[in-house]
Amino acid sequence: MLYDKYFNLKIAGFGFTAPIDAPCYLKTKLGDEMYVAPETRMRKPKDGVSVDLLASAIILFITFTQHPPFTKAVPEDPYYRLIYANRADLFWKAHSKNKPNGVEFFSEEFKNLITFMLQFDPAHRLSIAEVKAHPWFNGTVATIEEVQQEFAYRKEKNDKDIEAKRVQKEQEKQKAATEGFVAGRKQYKKGTVNRAYGTNGEEEEEEKYGLEESKRRIEEYVRLFNKNTEFFTTECPENILLEILGYFEEKGYNT
């Protein structure tokens, strides 16, 4: 479903598009599982227009209900088999469950249109001309101005919601970073890390904030490049960042 900046609707994604001279039957099997017509699955020669009309009916159903009419257009599908067996009444009864107003959620015109666009036999499906002449297609609809106004309102509301969530997430991230920095960073004095001292005045192996990186046994560090800025540490990246930020703060640098 594609919209331009004026909210004009375009539908794309029917596998491939090519100019054809009617009558023309296609043989290539293409398409997403949900939108594939029965004759395509059975690898029968198919009318591209009829196949696309079935896919259009599925899109229309999803747009109206916010869920697909079935998983696959095959007789074994729990929902499509009702269309296949000419029990459209049971198909619509099943889809009316948990809908606002129950069975009144779907109008008779809408049910008739979708039912005949989803027929198993392509010869029984509506043609484009019949769809355009259908009562539901010619029913009361919003004007283009009303559609654009409604979509503009929805877009503005959606943009505000996205921005509010972004700001909230950023604030939570900054709060977590600040709390972690205050709780976990080491204190610097003249550029040197303060350490806890034992009774003999010797530095203990373990640093004051409780990590025991000095006790870990690691493989010998192999120097690959000779650079003055190169260093090696077993410290985790988060703690390194906290150390750098703490140093900058004490030196009065703006981070």
Residues 37 and 50: beta-carbon distance below 8 Å: yes
| Encoded amino acid at 75, one letter | P
CATH class of 2-141: mainly alpha
Q: What pTM was estimated for this model as a whole?
A: 0.54
Using alpha carbons, list the distances in angstroms from residue 142 to 3, 34, 157. Answer: 17, 29, 21
Q: pLDDT tens-digit profile of 155-171? A: 899 999 999 999 998 88
Question: How does pLDDT run along the chain (255 residues), one tens digit per residue?
Answer: 787 877 777 777 655 555 556 555 555 555 577 888 888 877 766 677 888 899 999 999 999 999 999 999 999 999 999 999 999 999 999 999 988 888 889 999 999 999 999 999 999 999 999 999 999 999 888 888 888 888 889 889 999 999 999 999 888 888 877 776 555 555 444 444 444 444 444 444 444 444 444 444 444 555 555 555 566 677 777 778 888 888 888 888 775
Q: pLDDT tens-digit profile of 121-142? A: 999 999 999 999 999 999 888 8
Domain boundaries defined on the chain: 2-141, 149-251
* Contact residues for 101 (Cβ-Cβ < 8 A; gap 6+): none
The 3-state secondary structure of 106-118 reads: CCHHHHHHHHHHC
